[in-house]
Structure 1
Amino acid sequence: MRNICMKVSYDGTNYSGFQTQPDGNAIQDYLEKAIEMLTGEKVKIHASGRTDAGVHAYGQVFHFHTASKIPVERWCMALNSRLPRDIMVTEAREVPMEFHSRRSAKRKTYRYTINANQFPDLFRRNTELHHPGKLNVEAMAEGLKYLIGTHDYTSFASRHSTKPSHIRTVYDVHIERDQSMCRPGTRDQGLIHLYITGNGFLQHMVRIIAGTLLEVGKGRKKPEDIASILEAKDRMKAGPTAESKGLILWNVEYENFN
């Protein structure tokens, strides 16, 4: 048997998330079908983590065991010819049998994008949250510093979270702005990219953080309120859950592997 690890990108707009679903319309379902078409094997793939319906990925990682002798350099092209056009395998490698995409992961990075221009981008409308109102981006960036470190993130977790512990470590969180598409003389503020890197994330955690930061940007909350929201360990204290379409699983890192 071989252990094959792959990186996959996908536009999650038309899918019910990554993890297999009864309706057969999850990213996992299509990947497993493509592998079966290629090898004749019914395999179960294991990903670095779930993404919800409508969430995208630039660097999702998954692995599976196979008896196929297909050379590793042929897997990407072979699978992509059997996948929908909005799912694309971009890397493949053979890894030790003990490697596990989720358990071996050390750091994950998500990106949440807010389009703060007056008009949405017609061609990227499915991967950005459009917010045409004025935002205090400096206040949003100021609020982020309270999230760094090891904390109990219950306030930023879905009420339906089943994790036994809500303690996680956030290594880095910052905002990058892209103003290249701003129209001169308008109230366009450009794209606001929120990047957050941690050792793991709770259900809806990044989307709740994004929704809370929008409250800060709109002046409904102060940057320092983030600290008291964390301390409260109460979902009701944080802001709303931002739409799924603005979220991308950006990167997954592994020790002695990347």
Structure 2
Amino acid sequence: MTRVVLGVEYDGSAYSGWQRQHHADTVQARLEQALAAVACHPVTTVAAGRTDAGVHACEQVVHFDTHATRPDRAWVRGVNTHLPGGIGVRWAVQSVSGFDARRSAASRRYRYLLVDRPTQPVLLRNRVGWTWRSLAVEPMQQAAVALLGEHDFSSFRAAGCQAHHPHRRVDALGIHRRHGVLVFDIRANAFLHHMVRNMVGTLMRVGAGDHPPDWVGQVLAARDRRRAGVTAPAAGLYLVGVDYPARFGLPVPPKGPVFALAEGDE
């Protein structure tokens, strides 16, 4: 039995999230169908994280076990021939002993892209979040400091979250404006359901001038989802990458040229 690791990118616009579901089209189901066609047996995948409906990934990390003997290029080019255009395998390697795409991850990195202008961005409508209100970057940067470190993030947790506890460690949260788009970069050891989108929605209230920067710390301390802002739209969220210990030797893929804002330098 061989464990194979994949780096997968996808446009989540047409899918009901990553996780396989009955009566819904998902990224996991499509990928497993394509892998089975190359492996010549059913395949079950494990991913670093579950993205929601409409959320994208620049590099989702996935592993699966197989009896099939195939070169790494077959798990890339061969699988891609069986995938729809919105999903693609970027790289494939055979794993070292003990690797698990979910449990071995040291941190996950997400990027949220937000356009703040009076009219909706038509050409990027499935690629960015949008608000008609103009947002100030500096107050949001000041507010974001309160979210760094290890905390109980119940105020930013979806009602249906299935995590065993609400404690997470946020290692970095940067906010800047690039080419007219607000970019939120968030790195944490793990995330709760809707955590990033709820954090962005709350910071938006500060950027719009509805609350001072110290309000975000009060929301965090309240441990009450009702105190926070709205859930930002799924279209603006990207799983940028997953970090693993160096001993696993996973490749670092080159940056994609098509949508540099989503996959650009942090």
Q: Shorter-chain TM-score: what band? A: over 0.9
- CA–CA distance in 1 between the matches of 2:222 and 2:162? 19
Which residue in the other structure is 2:190 paired with? Answer: 200
Shift of residue 24, structure 1, vs aligned partner: 4.6
Structure 2 letter corresponding to 1:194:
F
CA distance in 2, matches of 1:3, 1:79: 16
Q: Give the aligned residue type for 1:220.
A: D
Corresponding residue pairs, total: 248
**Aligned counterparts of 1:18 and 1:50: Cα–Cα separation in 2:** 5
- 1:126 maps to which residue? 126
The equivalent residue for 2:59 is 59
The question of 1:17 aligning with 2:17 is answered yes
Contact 2:38 2:75 in 1 (8 A): no
Say which of 224, 232, 236 aligns to 2:226. 236
Shift in Å, 1:55: 0.7
Q: How does 1:1-258 map to 2 (within 5 A)?
A: 1-179=1-179, 190-256=180-246, 257=248, 258=250
Structure 1, residues 115-170: CA drift from partner, whole Å, max 9, x if none? 12444443322010122321111111111111110101011101222322111100
Normalised to the residue count of structure 2, the TM-score between the two structures is 0.90
- For normalisation by structure 1, the TM-score amounts to 0.93
- The CA distance in 2 between the partners of 1:24 and 1:211, in whole Å, is 27
The one-letter amino acid of 1:244's match is A
Tell whether the 8 Å contact from 1:2 to 1:97 is kept in structure 2 after alignment.
Answer: no
Deviation at 1:103, TM superposition (A): 0.2
Provide the secondary structure at the position in 1 that maps to 2:7.
strand
Identity of aligned residues (%): 37
CA distance in 2, matches of 1:12, 1:73: 24
Distance 1:194 1:41 in 2: 41
Letter in 2 for 1:212: T
What is aligned with 2:262?
none
Structure 1, residues 193-234: CA drift from partner, whole Å, max 9, x if none? 101000000000000001101111111121111111111111
CA distance, structure 2, for counterparts of residue 72 and residue 213 of structure 1: 43
Q: Is the 8 A contact 2:40 2:68 kept in 1?
A: no
Structure 1 residue 104 displacement after superposition: 0.3
Q: Answer whether contact 1:117 1:191 (CA < 8 A) is retained.
A: no
What letter corresponds to residue 84 of structure 1 in structure 2?
P
